[in-house]
Structure 1
Amino acid sequence: MKIGHKAKVMIAASLLSCFVGASVFAATYKPITKVTYFGTKTSAISSAVAIPKDVASFWTSGTVPPVLNKDGQTVYERYGNTQAQGEGILKGLEAQLKEQGLSLKDVTYLRVYVAPDAELGGKPDYQGWFDAYAKYFNTKGNPTKPARSTVGVQSLVNADWLIEIEAFATYPMPKK
């Protein structure tokens, strides 16, 4: 099959733009040498986190709240409100991370699902979650501000659960 002159020019122009784009990217790319958090000082969370390519990571599945009182008559007696459930989950994540040689200081991202709370007229208690978060992150003891998504959902697997959290952490860089 013969390729016409116009087609050859278009192919050459496309290839040239790819090479120019790649060289511009290569000229501006700065290798990431440590986990770096981005965002404003006034925000409780980071807007982004850069992770070097050779850093190992640890991801948890959706973690749910611990039972506070198995004989409780209400969701709040069994598991607590959103804040109590969030605190229970973060405490559990802290223990799970410790087993891996990590801590909450190594968390780079949280994905949080918040379900409707009957006490709030069926609206998710975002403030309860934010208050739980504030006890564990962006504090004097743990200044880490992970990137985070908080999503309101219709329900979770157990009707008593008001919150579920996934955590992503990175292992510290080896000393060179």
Structure 2
Amino acid sequence: MKKNMKSVIATSVLGLSLITGISFASAAKDKNGLNSDKVTFFGSPTSEISSSVAIPQSYNRLLFSGTVPPLLNKEGKTTYERYGNTERQAIGILEKLKADLKAKGLSLADVTYLRVYVAPDPHKGEKPDFQGWFDAYALFFNTKENPVKTARSTVGVQSLASPDYLIEIEAEVAYKNNSKSKK
């Protein structure tokens, strides 16, 4: 009988410990915004980007493949004449993204993550023009019109699919799963 009682007590203590631990873990998640019903961006208020983004299960995700810049002038003799510098190319890509999102009933405010590849610029000493990209990003994100600061990776690469492309951008978008929304 004493063994059974010890077993019951040990099982009860273990069970209560587990329940308490789960409760504290859940409380910590709520405190950190991980159980929110909205997309939550984390990071320093002074940073131009978020360090992470939590997307609730009730949201859908839309992933954009690497998008390259639009052709500006087919007859152009140089990369800059045909596609522009890194900043101009990035603006062109982000404008395409904005238009594509709008056609789907979404906006740049729904973008949660950007993965950006920047190739060497022949007019910048064959080095990637990261500042050109950062300047273009600042026109579309963390602005009065769109306060979203995406999570983001920016990677310098040796080259892209065309020697004229100085930048390529992938995007991840999260939008509310709403069965009443139009398709």
Say yes or no: TM over 0.5: yes
Q: Does 1:78 align with 2:82?
A: yes
The reply on whether 1:167 has 2:164 as its aligned counterpart is no
* Mapped pair 1:68 → 2:72: yes
Aligned residues: 158
Q: Confirm or deny that 1:29 pairs with 2:33.
A: no
1:60-83 CA-to-partner distances (Å, cap 9, x unmatched) read 000000000000000000000000
The aligned amino acid for 1:29 is K
Q: Distance in 2 between matches of 1:92 and 1:38?
A: 27
Q: What are the equivalent positions in structure 2 for 1:1-176 lying under 5 Å apart?
A: 23=22, 25-26=25-26, 28-30=28-30, 31-172=35-176, 174=178
Give the TM-score of the pair, scaled to structure 1: 0.83
In 2, the alpha carbon distance for the partners of 1:113 and 1:103 equals 22
The residue matched to 1:95 in structure 2 has which SS?
A: helix
Matched residue, 2:10: none
Q: Which amino acid aligns with 2:86?
A: T
Q: Secondary structure at the match of 1:84?
A: helix
Structure 2: 5+ residue runs without aligned partners?
1-17
* TM-score, with length taken from structure 2: 0.80
SS in 1 for 2:169: strand
Contact 1:38/1:46 (8 A) holds in 2: yes
Shift of 1:173: 5.8
Deviations 1:103-157 (A, max 9, x none): 0011000000000001111100000000000110011111110000000000000
Contact preservation (8 Å) 1:156, 1:162: yes
Tell me by how many angstroms 1:27 deviates. Answer: 5.6
Deviation track 1:49-106 (CA, whole Å, cap 9, x = no partner) reads: 1100121011100000000000000000000000000000000000111111110011
**1:83–1:132 CA contact under 8 A, matched in 2:** yes
Q: In the alignment, what sits opposite 1:16?
A: none
Unaligned segments of structure 1, at least 5 residues: 1-18
In structure 2, C-alpha distance between the alignment counterparts of 1:36 and 1:127, rounded to whole Å: 27
Encode CA deviations 1:26-69: one digit per residue, 9 max, x unaligned: 56333231100111111110111110012101110000000000
Whole-angstrom CA distance in 2 between matches of 1:172 and 1:142: 18
Contact kept, 8 Å, 1:34 with 1:173, in 2: the verdict is no
Report % sequence identity. 60
| Matched residue type, 1:64 | V
Please give the secondary structure, in 2, of the residue aligned with 1:149.
strand
Aligned-partner residue type, residue 28 of structure 1: A
Amino acid at match of 1:44: E
